[in-house]
Amino acid sequence: MAQQPEISVVVPSHNRPLRLLWLLNALEQQTLSRDRWELVVVHDSDDETDDLLLAHPLHQAGVLRRVHLEPGTGSPARQRNVGWREARGELIAFTDDDTRPEPHWVEKLLDAARRHPRAVVQGATKPDPLEIEVMQWAPRPRSMDVDPPGPHAQTCNILYPRAALEAVDGFDESFPYPAGEDWDLAIRAKKAGYGYVGEPAALVYHACDEFGLWQAITFNKRWQSLPLVLKRHPEQRSILYKKLFWKHRHMWLPPAVAGVLLQRRHPLALLLAAPYVMYTLPHHGTYPQGRLRAAFELLGFAAVDAAEIAAMVAGSLRYRTVML
């Protein structure tokens, strides 16, 4: 019988074979002895993902196991629940199929868990330096930047004792969108008596993606789930700006819109837009082309911020608790 691993890495995946391959290749380079950890990938892909997993050296070495759900039936919460229940380790590390862990990642998480028994351990997440030009030049880049322990306990880089997951029955799969369920899990684990610590040395790099304007606006629909977290855990309101706003610039967008609408009758009303512009306006130099690009990007930021606020208004109405 194979030796029971000390730590299990669980990854949900959906139709991202290239990103998943980069993750697998990074995990192949882990410094922790392979008899001490395992990898469980749970996917509901309808592409070549299953063939990729079966052919990878980690699978051939007996480190990687995969669970293939019916295509299109998974959600990140369900896949993670299936994964940790399938896993054999007493410590469960979660990451995503668009990350690239540093070689010492599993080892550093394990060391931190040994130093902090009965604690959830969050590692650090930074934009992937191999794709950093996307963050520097794309008008609407998306990545993750987390200095642990952060308030939202993102599952792109976090470790739970199995006992903590069992105590709270894992992720709540009833969240309507893939947002907030990781935050909710960490809160419930804390209420069950588990600690929460950070380990900056356990580092993963997160993919850097570029969104089109409409793609960014529609992506924000998922934030309707966030007010549900506040509904269940009202004490979390203290981490919001002014106990109301998810992002700082959300506070300045409504006055800015009001200023623009009122400025024809009351020219000084345009000053209401100044805080949002000063906080949000990107800098692309003093040349006319750079200033024109900054102005267009500012309009795009405003549209995306408005979509985020609209999603939270919808969630606030649905769950009868206000978050903007």
Domain-ending residue, one of 145, 178, 210: 210
- Preceding amide of 149 cis, omega within 30: yes
Let me know: does 85 contact 112? Beta carbons within 8 Å.
no
Domain-ending residue, one of 146, 177, 210: 210
Domain of 11: which CATH number?
Answer: 3.90.550.10
Q: What are the Cα distances from residue 310, in Å, to 141, 144, 198, 221, 322?
A: 21, 22, 33, 9, 12
pLDDT score for 2:
62
Residue 1 lies in a domain: no
Residue 259 lies in a domain: yes
Domain-ending residue, one of 176, 210, 244: 210
Closest CA to 76 of 4, 167, 183, 1: 183
Q: Distance between CA 55 and CA 70 in Å, rounded?
A: 20
Residue 58 lies in a domain: yes
User: Same structural domain for residues 86 and 220?
Assistant: no
Residue 178 lies in a domain: yes
Residue 203 lies in a domain: yes
User: Same structural domain for residues 237 and 182?
Assistant: no
User: Same structural domain for residues 318 and 183?
Assistant: no
**pLDDT (tens digit, 9 = 90+) per residue, 8-26?**
999 999 999 999 999 999 9
Give the sheet arrangement for strand 119-127, strand by strand.
64-68, 37-43, 7-13, 91-95, 157-161, 119-127, 195-206, 99-101
User: Same structural domain for residues 77 and 206?
Assistant: yes
Residue 265 lies in a domain: yes
User: Same structural domain for residues 232 and 152?
Assistant: no
User: Same structural domain for residues 122 and 271?
Assistant: no
Work out the burial of residue 72: count CB atoms within 10 Å of its CB; fewer than 13 is exposed, 13-18 middle, 19 or more buried. exposed
User: Same structural domain for residues 243 and 290?
Assistant: yes
Residues in the chain with pLDDT values less than 50:
1
User: Same structural domain for residues 256 and 189?
Assistant: no
Rounded to a whole number of angstroms, the distance between the first and last alpha carbons of the chain is 53
Residue 2 lies in a domain: no
What's 207's DSSP letter? P
Domains: count for the chain: 2
User: Same structural domain for residues 177 and 249?
Assistant: no
User: Same structural domain for residues 203 and 245?
Assistant: no
User: Same structural domain for residues 75 and 189?
Assistant: yes
Q: Show the domain range for 290.
A: 216-324
Residue 303 lies in a domain: yes
User: Same structural domain for residues 59 and 190?
Assistant: yes
pLDDT score for 293:
74
Burial 166-190 (b: 16+ CB within 10 A, else e): eebebbbeebebebbbbbbbbbbbb
Q: Distance between CA 127 and CA 27 in Å, rounded?
A: 18
